[in-house]
Structure 1
């Protein structure tokens, strides 16, 4: 197949790309430091198509922050955020952030020789969800995802739930809690792993009320016991906006851990392992210097291939 022939907006012949993933959440990445490659939503969707394109859950462009209006705003707050993760969902729609994507993004920058990051060193990355600080670790990268918050705070604090979710495979609508990690998530607690496996995520679940920009929907099951050696553990599946079910979602894992921790009460731990179809990521809650409660996400990032569009 000639990949360039299926894209009729702008010729992409000769475009160099990489393919990477974080716990199975996969991405096409390109280096465009000076902002010379402005792909359309249709081009991105075609490239991410698993039958007619390269195939990926999302598309990431590495661009210098000063080359984008959003990046210029980031630089005004954090001059060290030289690189901006220009992220789109697999359907071509622009998105605020991706927790797995930002780890793979930094691995891509390192692999391309655009940055040098030794073990333990940190790098500030601009995103539409704010600045994310990424540190290189022995098993991949740790990302300061920033503070989490309720999307419907009054309902959440009053009832512990704020919406209802309908999904194929579940006989009745389930109560859920909507949480922002810079992008929107709605978390549903299920009773056991059999119920989790039986939930069908080919089509988007229905959320009522739905956050204004739509939402990613996570279905989570607490482990038995919930806490072992001071670490909480849950299993999770996710339906991502504009993508469908994915093997992993970093911000979704953070949101699911935040919701479960909130439901578990004041004695709940600050460290959680989230078991997703693509592997396990670790989520840690800590107090920020500004008084907010912040979230750190840890997990692997792998570049699996490099190529050139024909």
Structure 2
């Protein structure tokens, strides 16, 4: 049975197994990823980050051309591949710095993902990632969740991966959700979606910053303490609902802490940026199943 070195990290409680595979020689089956992420028989995590050079992957060819040396091969806890992870990419950046894989004084990192190349910079509370252009759909998705008496309309938001955001009326509704059961979407998106439930603060805008609370069910994982792209999607949905006077800066409270969101306009349109902490907890060796 072979063993690999790993590091455990998290961003506001959204936790990951990080495995360095610079030259792309490690092939992890879905079952092996699921075993590593299992909270009873494995290390335990919401997902796995494989640290690999872009040029070593077919998926990373465009990233390599775009100047992104490193590619974040992100896998959900069930082993399935995902396009992006907002908390994961900050942990990934932290790992690159701590492992000496990038210059310690690098002003920014360009990291390849299945949702394109993302730029990560240091911020006051850790790292900030430009998630790029975002878009919303005009058609609502009907969302049914245990703990809600009736189905609610959800707003589709794409920030490189798909989300459906549902507004709730009160803190009690948010607390009463049972997210041990996967919410049902109608129509069901072809590739599934993360589902966020949000409650705006009262007042919504405080000191020029929008404030909301959120819980999330991540596809391929279940409820997590935090979801970076879900935080961005939630802020964007509430901003969309609030109209033209809504702020471009947001503070989002999740069970694992608090993350910041900014919306900035570039020549190609509106970009959404996510900021927050990234922590490496411990390192070790683990046997691979199979």
Q: Which of the five TM-score ranges fits, normalised by the shorter chain?
A: over 0.9
Displacement, 1:154? 3.8
The residue number in structure 2 matching 1:127 is 113
Superposition RMSD in Å = 1.0
In the alignment, the residues of structure 2 paired with residue 165 and residue 154 of structure 1 have an alpha-carbon distance, to the nearest angstrom, of: 15
Pairing partner for 1:307 from 272, 284, 288? 284
> Aligned-pair distance for 1:137?
2.1
Residue of structure 2 in register with 1:280 after alignment: 258
Q: Answer whether contact 2:15 2:45 (CA < 8 A) is retained.
A: yes
- For residues 217-246 of structure 1, give each alpha carbon's deviation from its aligned partner in whole angstroms, at most 9, with x where no partner exists: 000000000001100000000000010000
- Aligned partner (choices 261, 266, 270) of residue 239 of structure 2: 261
- Looking at secondary structure, tell me which structure has more strand per residue: 2
Name segments (4+ residues, structure 1) moved above 4 Å.
none
Whole-angstrom CA distance in 2 between matches of 1:232 and 1:303: 29
- Taking the aligned partners of 1:127 and 1:34, their CA distance within structure 2 comes to 16
Equivalent of 1:213 in 191, 205, 208: 191
Residue 186 in structure 1 maps to residue 172 in structure 2:
no
* Other structure's SS at 2:60 match: helix
Q: 1:63 aligns with which of 49, 52, 55?
A: 52
| Maintained 8 Å contact 2:109/2:121 | yes
Equivalenced residues, count: 287
**d(CA) in 2 for partners of 1:113, 1:72:** 23
TM-score (ref. length: structure 1): 0.91
Deviations along 1:89-146, one digit per CA (max 9) or x if unpaired, are 0000000000000000010111111112438x11100000111000012321010010
Q: Which has the higher mean CA deviation after the structures are superposed, 53-62 or 130-139?
A: 130-139
Contact 1:117–1:123 (CA<8 Å) still a contact in 2?
A: no
Cα separation, 1, equivalents of 2:224 and 2:286 = 25
For residues 194-233 of structure 1, what are the structure 2 equivalents within 5 Å?
194-233=172-211
Alpha-carbon distance in structure 2 between the residues aligned to 1:196 and 1:12: 44
Q: How far 1:73 sits from its partner (Å)?
A: 1.9
The 8 Å contact of residues 63 and 69 in structure 2, kept in 1 or not, is answered as no
Task: Give matches, 1:1-310, under 5 Å.
Answer: 11-13=1-3, 15-76=4-65, 78=66, 80-118=67-105, 121-150=107-136, 153-155=137-139, 162-290=140-268, 292-310=269-287
What SS is found at the alignment partner of 1:262? helix
Task: Report how far residue 53 of structure 1 moved.
Answer: 0.4
Counterpart contact for 1:47–1:53, Cα < 8 Å: yes
Please state whether the residue corresponding to 1:245 is helix, strand or coil: strand
In 2, distance between residues paired with 1:65 and 1:38? 15
Listed as ranges, the gaps of 5+ residues in structure 1 are 1-10, 156-161
The 10-residue stretch of structure 1 (206-215 or 40-49) with the greater mean CA deviation from structure 2: 206-215
Q: TM-score, normalised by structure 2?
A: 0.97
SS class of match (1:116): coil
Q: Distance in 1 between matches of 2:53 and 2:231?
A: 28
Gaps of 5+ in 2: none
Structure-1 separation of matches of 2:286 and 2:72: 21
Q: Secondary structure at the match of 1:54?
A: coil
